[in-house]
Amino acid sequence: MSYHKQLTIGLFGFGVVGEGLYKVLQQTPSLSASIKKVCIKDPAKKRNAPVSLFTTERDELLNDPDINVIVEVINEAGPAFEIVSTALKNGKSVVSASKKMIAEHLPELLQLQEVTGQSFLYESAACASIPVIRNLEEYYDNDLLHGIKAIVNGSTNFILTKIFEDKLDFQQALLLAQQLGFAESDPSLDVEGYDAVNKWAFLLTHAYGIIEHPNNLLFTGIQNIHSMDARVAAEKGQQIKLVAQAQKLHNGQVASFVIPQFVPQDDHLAFVKHEYNGVVIESGFSDKQFFYGKGAGSFPTASAVLSDLSALRYDYKYEYKKLYHHQPNKLTNDYYLRVYVSFTDWKHIPREKFEWIEEWHAREERKYLVGVLPVNELLQSDWWKTNATSLILTPDPVIEDIAIKQLKKKSLELAGII
């Protein structure tokens, strides 16, 4: 006979995800999990649950010895971190959906897990309904994981689909994403790529053992994509998606970025529309695997929280295998990206920074070029995000340092210089 722990939950937050969880739990009596108290910020707000369930006193949950699990699904990263750390120190397991908080406090959260020995699970924080963290953690051995390419933000994917396929304008599409509960309270977090890079930061930990603050990762959002870019994509039979990518280079180090990318129609990610997310994993012997599912919204996110709760019944913990049991991989910026850049005036484009420019076109409304840039140039400058300049990666954009060196040597040889 198996024994499963009874879960008595203290829930922080009753927004899109919190209320979703409340409803999902009512439909899952087999889980033996019940919410004892919900801590909220605004007691005046009308809610679809008995008034007696709510409190504004966080200690009522954090100090209640009956509560053995804290589920934290609030918006603000600072208070979320305080709640999570106090709960772990008070001997409670924690399930969280706060991607920004996890990305920004990962080193402290790792330490807290080590010191307290408590479970801290956050499957819903990346790609909502897709079990990406547990898969990366449990299934893919470090050496086998060649690359991972993903759409990790539902709102931007929803907006791009609505603009380019359903011909809505940007504001209409964003409003719809907000009404459907996909967007962050501050939607610029979605649009400008912050939400995606936050998720990417801790996915890199589970995939490769890399711990890096999101501010140090190369990223942007969809804010500068122009309608001409979409026309160029359509002419090439491609789509534009906000893609997070990590790729192991020949030297064993990892290239990583979150930047819009042209996606050919036969790429798995081209299939990912609206608020869906998708993850393509390339591993040693199995070649490509594709995970697909809803990446935002009340029930899809609550379903992942539910799955974490279920895992707590047998005391599941992330082991951070790539970090603690393998030689962690290192991030590198010593590589190049093949980029498309559309712009209004050449004066905004530092042509001398490109290794080479292989195409350029002038259309009535804008100009564009295709060329190769060193990644350090993108990290150290912002001309590619300002003055209405739009930078989109070409398919398979990574060019390794060694390939550039070989090409340079060859051209010098041909010119008779060496």
Number of residues forming the site for ligand HSE (CB under 6 A): 11
CA 353 → CA 334, 371, 372, 383, distances in Å?
A: 15, 10, 9, 11
Piece of the chain touching ligand HSE by CB under 6 A; list 5-13, 168-176, 182-190, 322-330: 182-190
**Cα four-point dihedral sign 204, 208, 211, 215:** negative
Shortest Cβ 32–ligand HSE spacing (Å): 28
Q: Does 154 bind ligand HSE (CB under 6 A)?
A: yes
Catalytic site includes residue 347: no
Shortest Cβ 190–ligand HSE spacing (Å): 5
218-219/276-283 β-pairing: unpaired
Q: Does 256 bind ligand HSE (CB under 6 A)?
A: no
Residues 384-403 that bind ligand HSE (CB under 6 A): none
Task: Please give the single-letter amino acid code of residue 237.
Answer: G
Among 85, 155, 205, 224, binds ligand HSE (CB under 6 A): 155
Shortest Cβ 198–ligand HSE spacing (Å): 9
Q: Does 137 bind ligand HSE (CB under 6 A)?
A: no
Q: Does 267 bind ligand HSE (CB under 6 A)?
A: no
DSSP classification of residue 282: E
As a 3-state breakdown, the chain gives helix, strand, coil percent values, each rounded to 5, of 40, 25, 35
Among 19, 104, 123, 190, binds ligand HSE (CB under 6 A): 190
Q: What is the DSSP string of 245-261?
A: EEEE-TTS-EEEEEEEE
Q: How far apart are CA 193 and CA 182, in angstroms?
A: 14
* Active-site annotation holder among 92, 199, 248, 294: 199
H or E element: which one contains 25? helix 16-26
Shortest Cβ 19–ligand HSE spacing (Å): 15
Among 10, 221, 295, 397, binds ligand HSE (CB under 6 A): 295
Quick one: which of 354, 393, 54, 82 has its CA closest to 241? Answer: 393
Piece of the chain touching ligand HSE by CB under 6 A; list 73-81, 147-155, 317-325, 405-413: 147-155
Largest CA distance in the chain: 84
Residues marked as catalytic: 199
